[in-house]
């Protein structure tokens, strides 16, 4: 029985409330500095979300990477921080998480002159597919988790894309509660996305990473990274964007720091 099968089997037979093993808590404390900043009640909820996540998600090591508890729990915990206060299954359309030891090669297509399609191979740290697959570089997962102040976390980024795509499109607009909420979201995010694009074009230092200026989907993913890793700066400099993300994620990470 493989590592993932063993963990899944354990969580499937465990009753709620879950008894999370001490060695797993040690892994989270050692590998995820953000875990130690969570309020105690959120840690307990996170443990249950991790169990749900591992029960329902297939993990596979690729490129020679051998999975272990550290790898699976580190990915699952970061993914579940995004949805720790959400009702229902953590990621209802997610099927599998594939992990490579480091950057992996992916095929990219783009439009060329005269409508031609240009195909090229690019190195990636992470990808999120609308068919329910997330691909990650373990080195990037580990490095992103280790530094909780730089606003860069590939796991948060790719799983934000998964939340974004629940309505069928990775367009920067996740599922929201009402038409009013959609309107407010569109207004706030449009303004801040334009501010980011303008800042990048003018060569200014921006709170959000420049990659967020690529398109609305990337803006949402990058904003999520910043919300969780630079929450006090975002709350001070971009309070309306912070409030939208706080409402969506049902989290207030500025209090954790």
Prediction pTM value: 0.92
Q: What is the per-residue pLDDT for 118?
A: 57
Over range 137-165, report the average pLDDT.
97
Q: How far is CA 99 from CA 55, 62, 63, 133, 155, in A?
A: 17, 6, 8, 11, 11
Task: Write the CA distances from 168 to 12, 110, 156, integer angstroms.
Answer: 29, 21, 19
Q: What is the mean pLDDT of residues 117-131?
A: 80
Q: How confident is the model at residue 112 (pLDDT cuts 50, 70, 90)?
A: low
How far apart, in whole angstroms, are the C-alpha atoms of residue 55 and residue 25? 18
Q: Which fold has domain 3-164?
A: Cyclin A; domain 1 (1.10.472)
pLDDT band at 3 (very low <50, low <70, confident <90, very high): confident
What pLDDT is attached to residue 10?
81
Positions of CATH 3.40.390.10 in the chain: 179-255
Q: How many CA atoms lie within 13 A of 192 on its CB side?
A: 28
Query: What is the rounded CA–CA span in Å between residue 116 and residue 121?
Result: 17
pLDDT at 13 exceeding the cut of 90: no
Residues of the chain with CATH 1.10.472.150: 3-164
The percent of residues above 90 in pLDDT, for the chain, comes to 81
Q: Which fold has domain 179-255?
A: Collagenase (Catalytic Domain) (3.40.390)
Nearest CA to 151 among 79, 77, 234?
234
**How sure is the predictor about 109, in pLDDT bands with cuts at 50, 70 and 90?**
low
Within the chain, how many helices (H) and strands (E) appear?
Answer: 11, 6
The 10s digit of each residue's pLDDT in 170-217 is 999 999 999 999 999 999 999 999 999 999 999 999 999 999 999 999
């Amino acid at each position: 029985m493989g590592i993932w099968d063993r963990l899944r089997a354990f969580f499937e037979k465990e009753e709620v409330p879950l008894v999370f093993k001490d060695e797993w808590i040690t892994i989270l404390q050692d590998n995820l500095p953000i875990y130690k900043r969570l309020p105690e009640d959120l840690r307990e909820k996170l443990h249950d979300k991790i169990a749900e996540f591992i029960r329902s998600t297939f993990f596979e090591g690729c490129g020679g990477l051998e999975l272990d508890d550290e790898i699976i729990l580190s990915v699952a915990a970061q993914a579940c921080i995004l949805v720790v206060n959400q009702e229902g299954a953590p990621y209802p359309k997610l099927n599998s998480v594939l992990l490579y030891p480091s950057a992996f090669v992916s095929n990219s297509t783009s439009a060329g002159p005269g409508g031609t399609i240009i195909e090229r191979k690019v190195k990636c740290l992470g990808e999120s597919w609308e068919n329910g697959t997330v691909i990650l570089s373990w080195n990037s997962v580990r490095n992103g988790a280790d530094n909780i102040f730089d606003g860069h976390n590939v796991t948060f980024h790719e799983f934000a894309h998964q939340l974004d795509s629940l309505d069928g499109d990775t367009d920067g607009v996740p599922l929201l509660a009402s038409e009013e909420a959609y309107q407010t979201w569109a207004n706030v995010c449009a303004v801040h996305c334009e501010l980011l694009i303008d800042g990048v074009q003018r060569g200014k230092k921006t709170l959000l990473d420049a990659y967020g200026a690529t398109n609305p989907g990337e803006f949402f993913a990058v904003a999520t990274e910043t919300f969780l890793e630079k929450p006090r700066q975002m709350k001070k400099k971009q309070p309306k964007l912070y409030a939208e993300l706080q409402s969506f994620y049902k989290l207030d990470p500025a209090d954790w720091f």
